Amino acid sequence: MTDQPDELFAAVDSLLAAVDGGTVLPAAAERVRLREAAGLTQAAFAQALGVRVASITAWEAGWAAPKGERLEAYRRLLEGLAHRYPAPVTSCGNEQGPVPNPSSAQQDPGPGQESEPSVPAAAASPAAEPEQTSALAEAPSRPPGAGSSARTSSSRRPAAKRATAKPASAAAAFDPRFENGPLAVVDVCDGQVSAYCVGGLILDVPAKSIASLVDWTLSQARLGQAKLSGPGKDADPLIVLTKAACERYGLPLHLSEEERLSGRLPEGHKVIRQLARAEWQLTKRGFGPWARIYRPARGSERLCVQLCIPSWGALDTRHWGAAGQLPPAELARLLGTYASRVMTPRGSTAVTGLELMTALHPPTRASEPDEYGVRHSEHNPGSLGKDPVDCAPCEAPDGHPLLKDLPRFRPRGPAEVLMEEAYDWARPLTDAECLRRNLVGIDVNMAFAAGANGTIVGLGAPTYVKNPVFDPKLPGSWLVDLSHVDLSRVLAGKEWQQLEDDLLPSPFTPKGERPTGPAWYATPTVAYAVELGYTVAPTEAYVRYTNGRYLDGWYNRLRDAYVATMADLGVTAGLAPEDFLRAMAEHKQVDPQLAIVLAAIKATVKGGIGKLRERPRGGGWRPGEPWPALSRPTWRPDIRAAVISRTRVNMHRKMLKHAAATGQYPVAVLSDCAVYAAGGPSPLDFLPYTDGKPLPGGFRLGVSPGMVKHEGTQTTLWAEGVREEYGPALNLARYIKDGNVTHADTGE
């Protein structure tokens, strides 16, 4: 923005011959009418106001509104035109509403913007904007009323799709260092390089190379995100490069097959040479879809920028849908919403899920001042520390260095390896179930996040114990025989209850089979055997005496992100079961972009847990050799096992409660989805509700993590047909959503 308001107003006055100021901008459609009535082009407006044509397009479409001096100047310009060209008057003497020319608002879309229909006047009016701001723009990088940067060429606020209240903490979270938000999408249109930021801001980018783009980002863009924890570090700014930006900066639009397999550009690429000449460095990951470019930190000041290149596959379509195909401004809002609710993406959703754990529990903190007043780095209590620890031999996956002396290709049995995995179990339908018309699947919301909540996990290395006394509060891996646990007779409260154990999966194995002897289990699994009324006598254990609820903060942040996004999609807490099912059936259509954010949040949960036991990737690795992930403090297969164990136990507990109360048993279970035979197509056709209240301890419809939603419904005839074609072992829960079963799915 110019530092000479007199010159700016003089340019406007020369166009209008002096007009008075006003108090509010007219509706977006009226702005178009006034300009066209005067026979002026968007270019004339842009020249007078000292902005680009793209900014005028955004203002006239209602996507954005100018700030500061340009707001006053634009207002003077429009009101001057309104005096000269008043709105048409009807025969009744009333002013006729402005009739915009749809083509005029779309004839010159801004850089990277797709043409859109005209915005209704009510939605575009600045007076209505505080209540009507889209949820995807609800996380501004500055509080309402904060001044815009001198480098900002326009401020965009997209038209609303539904009313959304801003979080009360939005203003409190404002950090002037990062006033333009955590990230920007850089695009090129008509030779002009622009950075589209969260909240609709558009910055002019003078950089002519990747090296100068990094310099500009750190010195002028004011991008980044404040740390999530006191001892933590601020998030580095994220720059997303569109195809046009890649072309501008000498990067390929797509990676070659060889580059895709290696995950990076070759070392001799000209852009990498440019960075080296400018004394910028790349991490060991190299220049790939998620590249980190840095210089060694100067004191506490970090000098690092992360690049995201969607056309290279940075935004996996399994988790981000079509996000990579969105126009720059829309992509900035989508990623900005994710960043404000989760964190600035650090790579894939799995990588971000793992990084979120560290951001909430940094490994070190500053000590108290010593005798000379100097602070030092020390271990941060409750964290995993800065150094990796070895897992127990039973927790090590095949190929781990701890197992290098074992014979190759010899499978390890349950008494040698911890096998805590999610359910994959199915059984034949009974005669009574075949007479019911439908199979209905229910899915547990954020099941692994709910399993992480409250789980006590080890924070350090394991300690081997012989013949230990089991302690349900002590995290670890236990060698114990649970084959005596009989699910036909379990303890429900203080009463023993009879069940049909052949219709329930065992809670102790992923395949639901009853154990046949000693096996390694995580603490939550053994604790559940005790809960069912049976004694346990472990013979060996690897326990972790230093422990805590490390994942609670991680769960809370992801839970809040999930619940807030679901609320924006019309699914709120407290809905009646029928209303909840109706809202869930429609939520993806409410705002498809927010639905992408929701999918990314869920993928962050599953991917983050999975990354705790990341396996070797890429060529060159041999069994018995270490792989890069082992050097991370967050490579913790024991924590992954504890979360999966607790998630599976939670699922079994609900199925057990349901069976005891209703006599109904699941016919298939896959991870967090259970399928039941029912007389109707709805979960309400088999879930017991009394006076609107669900079965205590059983499945409950709702939006919160741990509650369930409708996954899908198919007929029992469909079930019999696909099992006849693909075999009786087919897990119906895998296909209950849409009923599509392919030969590829079944390995045929």
Stretch among 16-30, 56-70, 369-383 having the lowest mean pLDDT = 16-30
pLDDT of 606 higher than 90 = yes
Q: Do 104 and 138 belong to one domain?
A: no
Residue type, 468: P
pLDDT at 102: 33
- For residues 729 and 600, the answer to whether their CB atoms sit within 8 Å is no
pLDDT of 160 higher than 60 = no
Residue type, 91: S
**What is the distance, to the nearest Å, from the Cα of residue 533 to the centroid of all Cα atoms in its chain?**
40
Q: How confident is the model at residue 130 (pLDDT cuts 50, 70, 90)?
A: very low
Q: How confident is the model at residue 8 (pLDDT cuts 50, 70, 90)?
A: low
| Pairing outcome for strands 238-241 and 183-189 | parallel
| Pairing outcome for strands 183-189 and 540-543 | unpaired
Q: Do 249 and 298 belong to one domain?
A: yes
Q: In 380-406, which positions are buried (b, 16+ CB within 10 angstroms) versus exposed (e)?
A: beebbbeebbebbbbbbbebbeebeee
- φ, ψ at 577 (rounded to 5°): -50, -45
pLDDT at 12: 61
Token pair of 520 as six digits? 């390694």
Percent of the chain with pLDDT over 70: 84
pLDDT at 132: 32
pLDDT at 13: 63
State the DSSP string of 55-107: HHHHHHHTSB---HHHHHHHHHHHHHHHHHSPPPB-TTSPBPPP---HHHHHS
Residue with the larger pLDDT of the pair 287 and 149? 287
User: Rounded mean pLDDT of 307-324?
Assistant: 96
User: Rounded mean pLDDT of 426-449?
Assistant: 96
User: Rounded mean pLDDT of 94-118?
Assistant: 36
pLDDT of 131 higher than 70 = no
Q: Do 142 and 102 belong to one domain?
A: no
Contacts of residue 723, defined as CB under 8 A and 6 or more positions apart, other chains included, come to: 730, 732
Q: How confident is the model at residue 620 (pLDDT cuts 50, 70, 90)?
A: confident
Residue with the larger pLDDT of the pair 726 and 90? 726
Closest C-alpha among 137, 593, 112 to residue 333:
137
Q: How confident is the model at residue 109 (pLDDT cuts 50, 70, 90)?
A: very low
Distance CA 138, CA 639 (A): 35
pLDDT at 27: 85
State the DSSP string of 405-434: TSPTT----TTTSB-----EEE-PPPHHHH
pLDDT at 659: 94
* Structure confidence by residue, pLDDT tens digits, 701-715: 999 999 999 999 999
Does residue 638 lie in a domain region?
A: no
Does residue 560 lie in a domain region?
A: no
Domain count, the chain: 2
pLDDT at 405: 87
Distance CA 331, CA 329 (A): 5
The overall average pLDDT reported for the chain is 85
Residue with the larger pLDDT of the pair 234 and 46? 234
End position of a domain, from candidates 123, 148, 173: 123
Distance CA 733, CA 723 (A): 12
Q: Name the residue with tokens 């559940």.
A: 528
Maximum C-alpha span of the chain = 96
φ/ψ bin of 279: left (φ > 0), alpha (ψ from -120 to 50), beta (otherwise): left
Q: How confident is the model at residue 118 (pLDDT cuts 50, 70, 90)?
A: very low
Stretch among 15-19, 127-131, 436-440, 722-726 having the lowest mean pLDDT = 127-131
pLDDT of 106 higher than 50 = no
User: Rounded mean pLDDT of 333-339?
Assistant: 97
Q: Do 178 and 267 belong to one domain?
A: yes
Does residue 8 lie in a domain region?
A: yes
User: Rounded mean pLDDT of 593-606?
Assistant: 97
Q: Do 71 and 214 belong to one domain?
A: no
Stretch among 130-139, 281-290, 403-412, 572-581 having the lowest mean pLDDT = 130-139
Does residue 557 lie in a domain region?
A: no
Distance CA 205, CA 221 (A): 9
Q: Do 262 and 309 belong to one domain?
A: yes
pLDDT of 485 higher than 60 = yes
Percent of the chain with pLDDT over 90: 66
Stretch among 67-71, 95-99, 106-110, 477-481 having the lowest mean pLDDT = 106-110
DSSP 293: E
End position of a domain, from candidates 106, 123, 140: 123
Q: Do 212 and 91 belong to one domain?
A: no
pLDDT at 99: 38
Q: Do 171 and 272 belong to one domain?
A: yes
Q: How confident is the model at residue 16 (pLDDT cuts 50, 70, 90)?
A: low
pLDDT at 429: 94
Does residue 201 lie in a domain region?
A: yes
pLDDT of 373 higher than 70 = yes
pLDDT of 493 higher than 80 = no
Token pair of 558 as six digits? 């992801």
pLDDT of 116 higher than 50 = no
pLDDT of 285 higher than 50 = yes
Residue type, 314: A
Distance CA 53, CA 5 (A): 20
Stretch among 82-96, 526-540, 578-592 having the lowest mean pLDDT = 82-96
Quick one: three-class SS letters along 594-633?
HHHHHHHHHHHHHHHHHHCCCCCCCCCCCCCCCCHHHHCC
pLDDT of 615 higher than 80 = yes
Residue type, 433: E
Q: Do 109 and 204 belong to one domain?
A: no
pLDDT at 136: 55
Distance CA 469, CA 479 (A): 12
Q: What is the dihedral of CA 613, 618, 619, 622, to 10 degrees?
A: -10
Q: Do 320 and 197 belong to one domain?
A: yes
Closest C-alpha among 728, 736, 734 to residue 681:
736
Closest C-alpha among 543, 456, 568 to residue 137:
568
pLDDT of 492 higher than 90 = no
Q: List the domain range (segments joined by +) for residue 119.
A: 1-123
User: Rounded mean pLDDT of 91-100?
Assistant: 41
Neighbours of 525 (CB within 10 A): 27
Rounded to a whole number of angstroms, the distance between the first and last alpha carbons of the chain is 64
Q: How confident is the model at residue 123 (pLDDT cuts 50, 70, 90)?
A: very low
DSSP H or E stretch at residue 369? none
Does residue 415 lie in a domain region?
A: no
pLDDT at 617: 84
pLDDT at 11: 58
pLDDT at 463: 97
Q: Name the residue with tokens 């999918």.
A: 599
End position of a domain, from candidates 301, 329, 347: 347
pLDDT at 483: 95
Residue with the larger pLDDT of the pair 479 and 741? 479
pLDDT at 9: 64
Alpha helix stretches (DSSP H) within 627-698:
637-662
Q: In 102-124, which positions are buried (b, 16+ CB within 10 angstroms) versus exposed (e)?
A: eebbbebbbbbbeebebbbbebb
Q: Do 3 and 56 belong to one domain?
A: yes
pLDDT at 163: 31
* Reported pTM: 0.78
Does residue 734 lie in a domain region?
A: no
Distance CA 442, CA 430 (A): 20
Q: Do 137 and 180 belong to one domain?
A: yes
Closest C-alpha among 137, 131, 139 to residue 560:
139
Distance CA 482, CA 486 (A): 9
Contacts of residue 265, defined as CB under 8 A and 6 or more positions apart, other chains included, come to: 251, 252, 255, 259, 271, 272, 286, 287, 288
For residue 156, the SS3 value is strand
pLDDT of 20 higher than 60 = no
DSSP 379: E
Does residue 722 lie in a domain region?
A: no
Q: How confident is the model at residue 39 (pLDDT cuts 50, 70, 90)?
A: confident
